[in-house]
Amino acid sequence: MTTKTLKVYYHLTKPGIIYANALTAIAGYLFGSAWRVDISTFLAVVVGTSLVIAGACVYNNVIDRRIDKQMLRTRQRALVTGAITPMAGTIYATVLTIVGFSLLALFTNVTVVVVGVIGIIDYVILYGWTKRHTQISTIVGSISGATSILAGYTAAVGHFDSAGALLFLILTIWQMPHFYAIAMYRKRDYAAAHLPLMPSKHREAIVKARILAYIVALMVVSVLLTTTGFAGVLCMTILLLLSGVWLLTGVSKYHLESAVWGKQMFLVSLVVNLGISVAIAIGSVTP
């Protein structure tokens, strides 16, 4: 197999998504373990979760290849151009998924495996169907996007609890303005593929208002993580500052054309996601 072919298979896994989710899995584990790290469990949950996500992304590429052909930003993907066949893609996804779940099953616990199963079913099947038919697809997809932090947390503590629920909720809420911002600045692409995303169906003022409302909701949940005693004040302060900057960006740039505004909000969301991971990682060991 040539270097070029390896790169094609590598990019088929959507590396950006994998790295972002690996970071939140690390944050969840460090939060749950209070930095008392068991190396085998830690590596297994990070690598295993990453492989399961990689498999889910490849399955998604196989399923979405006809949609991807209609969108400018995705029409050069390997399954669209024919560089990789659907059968090869499916086999690749299956191998990644099996290896990932094997690591989780052998070195973590049942709860982590269940979280992984929920994540892959949600992303590949439920999100894959809803984004073609209904505007609630963003909400459906946000569930799978938040499972990585929950996998990391439950790998550390061994069970699901209210702290894990709050971590899951923080990442779920973060994804809503993140995804809507993407949809706003990629509106023409999604419209070309006939996907019924919210920005394609509603007036831009409504979409902007909902994005800002979700950011406010993120601030509220960030406070809950500390007031319930699960995280320190420093964690809450970082989360509030990040969300505040995101909110201020949205309000101060509100007058911009929707695609421009959406892109700026998307870029800020990436910084916020990184900051959330850092804040949560230190949340249980700082005052």
Give the mean pLDDT of 189-212.
79
Name the residue with tokens 């749950």.
32
Average pLDDT of the residues in 256-281: 96
Which CATH number is 129's domain given? Answer: 1.10.357.140
Domain that holds residue 41: 1-159
Of 134, 159, 184, which residue is a domain's last?
A: 159
Is the domain of 182 the same as that of 217?
yes
pTM of the full predicted structure? 0.95
Q: Give the Å distances, CA to CA, from 224 to 26, 257, 271.
A: 21, 34, 22
- Six-digit token string for 160: 């699901």
State whether 121 and 244 are in the same domain. no
Looking at the structure, do residues 153 and 191 belong to the same domain, yes or no?
A: no
Q: What pLDDT is recorded for position 38?
A: 98
Number of domains forming the structure of the chain: 2
Placement of tokens 């993407």 in the chain: 182
Of 159, 177, 205, which one is at a domain's C-terminal end?
A: 159
Q: What number of other Cβ atoms are within 10 A of residue 5's Cβ?
A: 12
Mean pLDDT over 106-120 rounds to 98
Task: Average the pLDDT over each of 61-65, 74-78, 106-110, 252-256 and give the range with the smallest value.
Answer: 74-78
Q: What is the mean pLDDT of residues 22-32?
A: 99
Question: What is the spatial distance between Cα 103 and Cα 24, in angstroms, rounded to a whole number?
Answer: 18
When comparing pLDDT for 227 and 72, which is higher?
227
Average pLDDT over residues 50-75: 93
- What integer best gives the mean pLDDT of the chain? 94
Instruction: Reply yes or no on whether the pLDDT at 208 is more than 90.
Output: yes
Residues 21 and 115 in one domain: yes
Domain co-membership, 207 together with 151: no
pLDDT at 213: 98
Q: Are residues 278 and 149 in the same domain?
A: no
138 shares its domain with 173: no
pLDDT at 202 over 70: no
d(CA 200, CA 177): 15
Token duo for residue 95: 């191998």
For 14, residues 6+ apart whose C-beta sits below 8 A from its C-beta are 54, 57, 60, 61
pLDDT at 42 over 90: yes
| 125 shares its domain with 176 | no
Q: Who wins on pLDDT, 200 or 188?
A: 188
Are 146 and 243 contained in the same domain? no
Q: Are residues 58 and 77 in the same domain?
A: yes
Does the pLDDT of residue 215 top 80, yes or no? yes
Q: Assess whether pLDDT exceeds 70 at residue 187.
A: yes
Residues 113, 255 within the same domain: no
Query: Are the C-beta atoms of 36 and 88 separated by less than 8 Å?
Result: no
135-173 tens-digit pLDDT: 888 899 999 999 999 999 999 999 999 999 999 999 999
Same domain membership, residue 166 and residue 155:
no
